[in-house]
Amino acid sequence: MIFEAESKVIRIGAEAVVSKLEWNGLKLVSKHRVPKPYRMPDLDKWVRDRRTLHEAKIISMLKKSGVPCPAIVLMDRSESTLYMQFIEGTELRNLLHDLPKKVIEALARSLGEIVGRMHLTHVAHGDLTTSNILVDKEGRLYIIDFGLSVVTDDLEELAVDVHLLDRSLDSAHHSIREIFMRNFLKGYSSTVGREQALKIMEKVKEIRRRGRYVEERRKKH
């Protein structure tokens, strides 16, 4: 660990531990990719290093394109750790049930514009759920956790982002899912263009159909 400071774990994921720390009055977040004992040590170090470097490059690309996400402060490749700006905010999933309809509509449109900008930068997030979207005190949105992100022009990979967001709303915020997604798509379309938005939504429908088919097959067997 480069920064000699006390840290507090705020999230434990499948491949990384995210902690909050303060260094010289600066609030930071560290994302440390932990070693995996089932991999050979040399391979494990290489995998963690490549994934750390990949995520840093993705975030740098997005920052240059105006996509709101935490800024990289430092990368410690020897420890497979990223140090990033700490966003004072709340996960979107913890706010939605308590917000007025107009605020939900505004947040959804804003998120659509942000995701549209991200997709125009040729980045698919890979895990776009309401847990990976922060809202600060001024109501500004930030996308976090780009560990599964890819650089791509593939319609399906971009559509998966929209599909995952829709699924996360359906499971945790079913009552507002329709109004949220309708306004999200307005913002998304205004950024990527109507034609591209329609192509993405056709792919989303295709993904849903495949998912239903697999589920039905599983129930029969």
8 Å CB contact between 78 and 52: no
Question: In 3-state terms, what secondary structure has residue 124?
Answer: strand
Question: In 3-state terms, what secondary structure has residue 46?
Answer: helix
Question: In 3-state terms, what secondary structure has residue 91?
Answer: strand
Question: In 3-state terms, what secondary structure has residue 4?
Answer: coil
Distances, alpha carbon 26 to alpha carbons 79, 125, 128, 164, in Å: 21, 27, 28, 34
Question: In 3-state terms, what secondary structure has residue 103?
Answer: helix
Annotation says 44 is catalytic: no
81 vs 5: CA distance, rounded Å: 15
Distance of CA 58 to the CA centre of its chain: 12
Distances, alpha carbon 219 to alpha carbons 2, 56, 78, 213, 216, in Å: 51, 42, 47, 10, 5
Q: Which of 127, 145, 161, 166 is catalytic?
A: 127
Query: So which residues are the catalytic ones?
Result: 127
